């Protein structure tokens, strides 16, 4: 018999969305048992790496408006955002900034004591609320501290969730491995919130932690939920070389310049109105265009790059506002940005796509919600504006936590537990992977997968490359790599790495098929062979459903409330 434990509410993922959901659920009902299941220790969640800010309109007395934030978000999304969702985000966020403040968040402040905000790409006003350049770390610390007030929140740190158990209509539980002992568990539950973050480690040049693999997305996908808009991958303009670690947009928000090899601030040729603070998709394409036309630099590793200049900001301002960035640059590139220019290049930074949800974060399976980057409620459409992601985590963490408790309180029928489904999952991961056999090295397969995504589905894409990439991913999938050489039970990272790879291959396939099918350029999806946006044929979301042979692709309408699509100009 498989060991089992039971919670009322299971939250998979312990980043901003997961912790915010746990707090809201615990505040609403102190009697329900809440279990946070995370493959990491809580404060290792990738949310701690968010640097630049959290978007909210705080100063309507200075001319900013909620409506302006909504329109900037919709325009930034290249009109693929569901506008009712963007409205909810922008209306809810000011309250959440003050809520975090009351919980002890150390926001950076103006001289008059009011919370400070900095300029970010694509916004009409400075509305990135920040805490120096470590906003994610401080938000996580604040939420984790707040969680300690509630005795009904329990942490399952370093547990690897492998599948969702359901009866075809309704959620019943999950299966997971306790990494410290290697024990396989069934975790019974009445409701589930998936907050497992993004899948950015599908790319080898990436700002993400190595743990940011699509296990949560794949778990939902295999359970019959759709993955939505996965072709839209955000490349942040400024990944530091050679590591790919993020240099926050706040560096440009504070006045940094992007320079080509002629010493020109080249953004004047692409977005004269916004310069370095145009939306990320536009800045990344501009950088790659400059490189492709011979105006780039060569990094010592041989990689083409561009330069980011912060020297004119002065030592004092860099230390105060961008201290973390300075430390990262010195540590990982040997460059002090107060004295030298930094080498940067567009880097995989965010997935606009994720598990298909409605405006409330509800998925297609009753009793399951998704929040944060793992979810796709279509806030960001085809391109996310900077600082809207931590906002989304906090808003839909709150919403899903509340709704999951409402659902539990109504009473969930307790049907017989489907032991056969747990047994089938145990067989899939132990016979299929742990005791599997193969001659291909799974680590080499993983490297080939991430390099293929880098080469074939980067900032600029075309049919030939995407088809080539898909063929390569399918070849890798067919190779015999499902085996684990380390047979230890405790902390078997070899086992977890191969399980991660299993989910990466399925998810990469969805990204590439979505990109092949979308024969237009919209937001972060830029096709050189279809250079224009095509609203007549592609003003829709992409849905992918699991099938053992290949994903079943469908479309889903975009919600337009006020703003008809127009050409984006900045």
Rounded CA Rg of the chain = 23
3-state helix, strand, coil in the chain (%, to 5): 40, 20, 40
Q: Quote the distance between the C-alpha of residue 418 and its chain's center.
A: 32
Q: If DSSP codes are grouped into helix, strand and coil, which group holds residue 411?
A: coil
> Is the four-CA dihedral 505, 212, 391, 337 of positive or negative sign?
negative
**C-alpha to C-alpha distance for 458 and 231, rounded to whole angstroms:** 11
Residue 236: active-site member? yes
**C-alpha to C-alpha distance for 92 and 114, rounded to whole angstroms:** 19
> Is the four-CA dihedral 458, 460, 465, 466 of positive or negative sign?
positive
Which one is catalytic: 46, 127, 252, 568? 252
Q: If DSSP codes are grouped into helix, strand and coil, which group holds residue 351?
A: strand
Q: Give the CA distances from residue 150 to residues 22, 23, 399, 402, in Å, rounded to whole numbers and listed in that order.
A: 9, 8, 18, 15
Neighbours of 314 (CB within 10 A): 12
Question: Contact, 229 vs 541, CB < 8 A?
Answer: yes
- Which among 139, 161, 158 is positioned nearest to 214, based on CA atoms? 161
Q: Give the CA distances from residue 496 to residues 105, 362, 487, in Å, rounded to whole numbers and listed in that order.
A: 34, 28, 12
- Tokens 């610390």 belong to residue: 141
Residue 312: active-site member? no
Which one is catalytic: 46, 166, 236, 285? 236
**C-alpha to C-alpha distance for 109 and 111, rounded to whole angstroms:** 7
- Which among 298, 303, 224, 227 is positioned nearest to 261, based on CA atoms? 298
Sheet containing strand 3-6, strands side by side? 3-6, 183-188, 171-178, 159-166
Question: Contact, 328 vs 337, CB < 8 A?
Answer: no
- Tokens 């405006």 belong to residue: 359
- Which among 557, 53, 20, 30 is positioned nearest to 324, based on CA atoms? 53
Alpha-helix residue ranges (DSSP H) falling in 260-378: 280-292, 315-321, 323-333
> Is the four-CA dihedral 70, 86, 568, 454 of positive or negative sign?
positive
DSSP 8-class letter at 207: S
**Beta strand pairing call for 552-557 and 233-240:** unpaired
Alpha-helix residue ranges (DSSP H) falling in 334-490: 388-410, 419-429, 442-456, 463-478
Active-site amino acid positions? 236, 252
């Amino acid at each position: 018999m498989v060991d089992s434990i039971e919670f009322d509410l299971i939250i998979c993922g312990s980043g901003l969305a997961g912790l915010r959901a746990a707090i809201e659920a615990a505040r609403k009902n102190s009697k329900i048992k809440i279990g946070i299941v995370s493959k990491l220790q809580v404060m290792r969640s990738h949310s701690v790496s968010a640097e630049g800010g959290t978007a909210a309109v705080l100063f309507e007395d200075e001319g900013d408006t909620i409506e302006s934030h909504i329109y900037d978000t919709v325009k930034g999304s290249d009109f693929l955002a569901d506008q009712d969702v963007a409205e909810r985000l922008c209306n809810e966020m000011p309250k959440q900034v003050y809520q975090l403040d009351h919980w002890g968040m150390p926001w950076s402040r103006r001289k008059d004591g009011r919370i400070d905000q900095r300029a970010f790409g694509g916004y009409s006003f400075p509305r990135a609320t920040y805490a120096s350049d470590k906003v994610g770390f401080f938000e996580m610390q604040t939420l984790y501290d707040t969680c300690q007030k509630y005795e009904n929140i329990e942490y399952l740190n370093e547990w690897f969730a492998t599948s969702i158990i359901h009866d075809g209509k309704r959620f019943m539980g999950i299966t997971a491995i306790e990494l410290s002992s290697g024990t396989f568990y069934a975790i019974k539950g009445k409701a589930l919130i998936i907050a497992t973050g993004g899948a950015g480690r599908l790319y080898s040049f990436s700002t993400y932690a190595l743990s940011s693999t699509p296990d949560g997305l794949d778990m939902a996908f295999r359970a019959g939920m759709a993955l939505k808009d996965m072709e839209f991958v955000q490349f942040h303009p400024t990944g530091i070389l050679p590591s790919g670690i993020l240099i926050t947009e706040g560096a440009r928000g504070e006045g940094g310049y992007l320079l080509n090899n002629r010493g020109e601030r080249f953004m004047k040729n692409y977005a004269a109105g916004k310069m370095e603070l145009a939306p990320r998709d536009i800045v990344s394409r501009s950088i790659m265009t400059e490189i492709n036309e011979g105006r780039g630099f060569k990094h010592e590793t041989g990689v083409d790059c561009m330069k980011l200049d912060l020297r004119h900001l002065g030592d004092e301002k860099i230390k105060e506002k961008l201290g973390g960035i300075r430390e990262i640059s010195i540590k990982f590139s040997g460059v002090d940005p107060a004295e030298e220019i930094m080498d940067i290049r567009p880097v995989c930074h965010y997935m606009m796509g994720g598990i298909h949800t409605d405006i409330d974060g509800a998925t297609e399976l009753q009793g399951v919600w998704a929040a944060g980057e793992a979810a796709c409620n279509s806030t960001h459409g085809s391109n996310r504006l900077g600082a809207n992601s931590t906002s989304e985590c906090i808003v839909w963490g709150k919403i899903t936590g509340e709704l999951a408790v409402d659902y539990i309180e109504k009473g969930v029928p307790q049907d017989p537990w489907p032991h056969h489904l747990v047994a089938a999952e145990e067989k899939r991961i132990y016979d299929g992977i742990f005791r599997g056999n193969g001659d291909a090295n799974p680590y080499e397969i993983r490297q080939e997968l991430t390099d293929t995504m880098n080469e074939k589905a980067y900032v600029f894409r075309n049919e030939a490359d995407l088809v080539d990439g898909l063929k390569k991913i399918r070849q890798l999938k067919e190779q015999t790599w499902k085996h684990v050489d380390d047979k230890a039970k405790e902390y078997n990272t070899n086992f977890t790495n191969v399980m991660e790879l299993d989910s990466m291959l399925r998810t990469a396939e969805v990204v590439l098929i979505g990109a092949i099918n979308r024969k237009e350029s919209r937001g972060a999806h830029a096709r050189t062979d279809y250079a224009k946006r095509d609203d007549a044929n592609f003003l829709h979301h992409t849905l992918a459903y699991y099938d053992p042979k290949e994903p079943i692709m469908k479309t889903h309408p975009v919600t337009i409330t006020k703003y008809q699509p127009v050409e984006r100009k900045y």
